[in-house]
Amino acid sequence: MPTQSHVGDAMEDIFVVKRCNKIIIQGRRAGEVTHQPPVDEVWFRIADSRTHGGFIGDGYDREEDARRECLRLNKASSKVSRQG
């Protein structure tokens, strides 16, 4: 199950980072008898808290990259909401 973390000073951030499980199933070549075990990894997605389960972009392998993009998106959205 994804876990959520807020990236800004306020709890009302629109965009938040979610940690998601990524399981890579490895195939088997002709002649191989056993499968390699699945690889258990994580990746990070940016969720739009205004929607139920809506994500922005394709996801990030590094949490720092997702957090950086979240900060950028939240700053841009706060500027737009202040202007309106």
- Model pLDDT, residue 9: 47
Residues of the chain predicted below pLDDT 70: 1-11, 80-84
- Burial of 49 from C-beta contacts in 10 A (0-12 / 13-18 / 19+): middle
Q: How many domains does the chain have?
A: 1
The range of the structural domain enclosing residue 15 comes to 3-83
Q: What is the pTM of this model?
A: 0.67
Q: Say how many residues make up the chain.
A: 84
Contact (Cβ atoms closer than 8 angstroms) between residue 8 and residue 74: yes
- Model pLDDT, residue 23: 81
